[in-house]
Amino acid sequence: MPFIPHTEEEISQMLEVIGIDSTEALFDEIPSHLRTSGLDGIPEGMTEMEISRLMHKRASQNTDAVCFIGAGAYEHHIPAAVWQLTTRGEYYTAYTPYQAEASQGTLQLTYEFQSMMTALTDMDVSNASLYDGASALAEAVLMAIRGNRKSKSRKVLIPRTVHPTYRKTTETIVTGQNIDLLEVDYDLAAGTVQLDALKQAATDAGGDITAVVIQQPNFFGALEDIDAITDWAHENRILVISITNPLSLAVLKPPGQWGSENTGVDIACGDGQPLGAPMSCGGPYYGFLCSTSALVRQMPGRIVGRTIDVDGKEGFVLTLQAREQHIRRSKATSNICTNQGLVVTASTIHMAILGPEGLENTAAACHANTTSLVAQLTDIDGVRYAFSSPYFHEAVLVLDQPVTAVLEALAERGILGGYDLGAEYPELGNALLVCATELRSEEDINAYQAALEAALDVETRQKEIA
């Protein structure tokens, strides 16, 4: 029997010890009229050989086009060692490290992860992960509401330059708790939110704002004026929540230093995917959440602390558990229990192998490749960069033709050409968000350029014909 070790003889022995005749009797407390007759809608079992064949076929039905989509999930090189180590049974098949002494592997690794995230963000403390970047933003907002005792409004400013699904997820999650998420529009020329717009929104909302969210680089890849916004917020007792791509922090100013005096944000969150998680159809990734020490008791999720054992030897435990659902129940900082530990494991190993210089070089290469891509594509007639702001490794292009058809034409040429902004940002026209990570070679970029030229040409011609 698949995955069941019992022999007939053992089954009889066990039934005898229990004092029953058959395994059926084990279910005699279940009202018989409720019993399931059989799960006819579920196919019969397969052998590993058969499922393997099926899954290879399914996997091959997915595209293998060269990817220029970013928009919150990025294709990076992941050292081979990372997942070979991560899928070792000792990491892969352990539970949450409740029994600290039997879980020092996971616990120490998580402590190292927290150390790396605080280093990258330059924040005081980090938790052990949340589900993903979007839900981490929701938790950050809830944390800010709990943490900003000076504000009573439960109002949070969120620029439209924040990732659309992050905003939607946050909306879903905080909606039950009487919180106002106030969207703030961005500047169409700059592709960033202006301080004036934030001020105006604050005034319109009556002045008392609990927190402001800033994404850097923002959803368009453009760089926000983080220092000014941070300064303004703190002058007005507004907590600052940053969303950052953690890879970008190898070269961009870390949230812990935002503000003209490097005072830093209060809560830093984001998605850890660029640090060792494959794109994998959308998950599992992980959300990271860092904050100032002042807010540590408002943190959701697991936190690992370093301590000593009875002999004074260093060791690691889950700590500050009084914040959590299994202790505090309905008064917990969050309902989160299971997090994204394995992806954190991969990410920690990924960062250790790349090191600070490796991450810096990678981040800089992403920037350089996207710069080349934008340069080469905007060389084509009818393609222009949408904004005036500098960008990190994503940029919005505006085409003189509808994006959908162009993307289809590119896909036929083996190129996933980017993310169509039409649905979320109709005001931008035929806008396309493109990204070239360190993996995109010159050859790839040339191929994109050629394919786009051809696609636009065909489109142009078809339009002329019609």
Partner 1 sequence: MLIHEHSKPGRKGAPQAPVSKADLSDIPSNLLRQDSAALPEVSEMQAVRHYTRLSQKNFAIDTHFYPLGSCTMKYNPRACNSLAQLPGFLSQHPLTPDELNQGYLACMHELQLMLCEAMGMAAFSLAPMAGAQGEFAGIAMIDAYHKANDDDGRKEILVPDAAHGTNPATATMCGFNVREIPTLDNGDVDIDALQQAVGPQTAGLMLTNPSTLGVFERQIEKIADIVHAVGGLLYYDGANLNAILGKIRPGDMGFDVIHTNLHKTFSTPHGGGGPGSGAVGVAERLIPFLPLPLVSQDNAGYHLVKEQDAPQSIGRLSAFMGNAGVLIRAYVYMRLLGRDGMARVSEFATLNANYMMAEARRRGFELAIPDRRASHEFIITLKREASELHVTAMDFAKRLLDLGYHAPTTYFPLLVPECLLIEPTESEAKEALDGFMDALEQIRQEAESNPEVVTTAPHTLPVKRLDEVRAARQLDLAWKPEA
Ligand X SMILES: Cc1ncc(COP(=O)(O)O)c(C=O)c1O
Going from the C-alpha of 363 to that of each of 77, 106, 273, 369, 403, the distances in angstroms are 12, 28, 14, 10, 28
Nearer to partner 1 among residue 44 and residue 464 (C-beta):
44
Beta bridge partners of 211: 156, 239
- How far is it, in rounded angstroms, from Cα 187 to Cα 392? 18
Q: Which of 12, 21, 101, 388 binds partner 1 (CB under 8 A)?
A: 101
φ/ψ bin of 154: left (φ > 0), alpha (ψ from -120 to 50), beta (otherwise): left
* Contact call for residue 37 and ligand X (CB under 6 A): no
Quick one: tokens of 68?
Answer: 């220029």
388 binds, among partner 1, its own copies, ligand X, none (CB under 5 to 8 A by kind): none
259 to 298, contacts with ligand X by CB under 6 A? none
End-to-end CA distance of the chain: 64
Nearer to ligand X, 293 or 338 (CB): 338
Interface with partner 1 (CB under 8 A), residue from 186, 220, 232, 392: 392
How many chain residues touch partner 1 (CB under 8 A)?
211
Which pair of structure tokens corresponds to residue 388?
Answer: 């005036």
Q: Does 419 bind partner 1 (CB under 8 A)?
A: yes
Q: Is 331 in the site for partner 1 (CB under 8 A)?
A: yes
Q: Which residues bind its own copies (CB under 8 A)?
A: 47-49, 52-53, 77, 79-80, 84, 87-88, 438-439, 441
Binds partner 1 (CB under 8 A): choice among 12, 21, 87, 150: 87
Cβ 70 vs Cβ 370: under 8 Å? no
Closest CB to ligand X among residues 99, 338? 338
466 part of the interface to partner 1, by CB under 8 A: no
With binding defined as CB under 8 A, does residue 378 bind partner 1? Answer: no
231 binds, among ligand X, its own copies, partner 1, none (CB under 5 to 8 A by kind): none
3-state secondary structure of 447: helix
What value, to the nearest 5°, has the Cα angle with vertex 229 and ends 260 and 193? 135
User: Where does residue 178 rank: exposed (0-12), middle (13-18), buried (19+ CB within 10 A)?
Assistant: exposed
Structure-token pair, residue 197: 């717009």
Q: Residue 337, interface with ligand X (CB under 6 A)?
A: yes
**Least spacing, CB of residue 268 vs ligand X, in Å:** 24
For residue 444, state whether it binds partner 1 (rule: CB under 8 A): no
Token pair 């106002």 is at which residue? 180
338 is a site residue for ligand X (CB under 6 A) = yes
- The listed partner (its own copies, ligand X, partner 1, none) that binds 439, CB under 5 to 8 Å by sort, is its own copies
The smaller minimum CB distance to its own copies, of residues 48 and 311, is found at: 48
239-244/267-271 β-pairing = parallel
DSSP secondary-structure letter at 360? H
Element (H or E) spanning 268, and its range? strand 267-271
Query: Which residue lies nearer to partner 1 by CB, 304 or 399?
Result: 304
Instruction: Give me the amino acid identity at 225.
Output: D
Q: Across-strand partners of 317?
A: 305
Nearer to partner 1, 87 or 462 (CB): 87
Site of interaction with ligand X (CB under 6 A) = 337-338
